[in-house]
Chains A and B, each alone.
Chain A
């Protein structure tokens, strides 16, 4: 089995090498065949130069840089990555070190043992799950939003807006082709559609380290409105 990690990046020149190092460390130790497909949206900070250096160090087979000219959205970034991915399994994760690669071997094991189509990391449920760096306001918003989503959608997944997931390749292809929302709601829509299409979803507790790069954990009024609009759309259409 070959695992493609699709990494959409924008201005991740500093985090990318560290993430790649950690992926190599943990997947190497677990003997997992992998490649990292970097979909960079024309970062001005030198992310692509960093990727090229990493390709020299870790091999061009492992570090696959497939950039795009400018910011074109997450859904299309996944589609673009899939076109260039060679693996039969795909891992999606954030490039800012909030997701730790040490959980990937756990997801792989979970998928095998439970024959799941998808394994999602959960920040909210399971032994050892957790979040670092959220203040009270953020926690209240997160719990409130999750409560609402669970109530309205009854998704059978504890962390609906999480973005650290392992998919069988054809499952991801099908989901990305049929999902149309943006941002947090895109991640929710994927899980809801997956359930509707009859795919099985397993969960692995993960820790999420929010390093609050932009001062405040990017959750302002407009994000909340977008989330509610998206949630209600899913509520009314699925």
Chain B
């Protein structure tokens, strides 16, 4: 079935729910006992949530950059194959163009 909601709408909906919940907590509409620490976290919940998310994202990106797969063998293999290709093509009659502009013959 096709997605009825765009990703933006999904985020707005999710964000809306989060804010509604937070406002309910802020105005004591939800009957829950909060320690002073709990109260403090609730008051600043969007900030803490945002900060935590930002931190997690940054760490994820740093990790992925460090774990990035470099593949030098792919480069050396390519260089070898390029030489092989040039030689074989020349044998089959391909005329390469000299970068300096003159036609090179095999």
Partners in one complex: yes
Tell me the minimal C-beta distance from B90 to chain A in angstroms: 10
A 193-224 binary contact with B (CB < 8 Å = 1; else 0):
00010000000000111000000000000000
Query: Do residues A140 and B3 form an inter-chain contact, with CB atoms below 8 A?
Result: no
Size of chain A's interface in residues, with CB distance under 8 A? 39
A 107-127 binary contact with B (CB < 8 Å = 1; else 0):
000000000000000000000
Residues of chain B within 8 A of A17, CB atoms compared = 85, 89, 94, 96
Tell me the minimal C-beta distance from A199 to chain B in angstroms: 13
Query: Do residues A21 and B88 form an inter-chain contact, with CB atoms below 8 A?
Result: yes
For chain A, what secondary structure do more than half of its interface residues adopt (helix, strand, loop), or is it mixed? helix
Q: With A57-B92, A196-B3 in contact, is A143–B68 under 8 Å at CB?
A: yes
Residues of chain A within 8 A of B81, CB atoms compared = 18, 22
A136 at the interface (CB under 8 A from B): yes
Bound complex: CA A134 to CA B70 (Å): 8
A70 at the interface (CB under 8 A from B): no
Q: Which residues between 1 and 25 of chain B lie within 8 Å of chain A, taking CB atoms?
A: 2-3, 6-8, 11
28 A-B residue pairings within 8 Å (CB atoms)? A13-B97, A18-B81, A18-B89, A21-B89, A22-B81, A46-B97, A53-B93, A53-B94, A53-B95, A129-B69, A130-B68, A130-B69, A132-B71, A132-B74, A134-B68, A139-B68, A140-B61, A144-B61, A147-B60, A147-B64, A151-B57, A152-B11, A154-B7, A207-B74, A209-B74, A209-B78, A235-B7, A237-B6
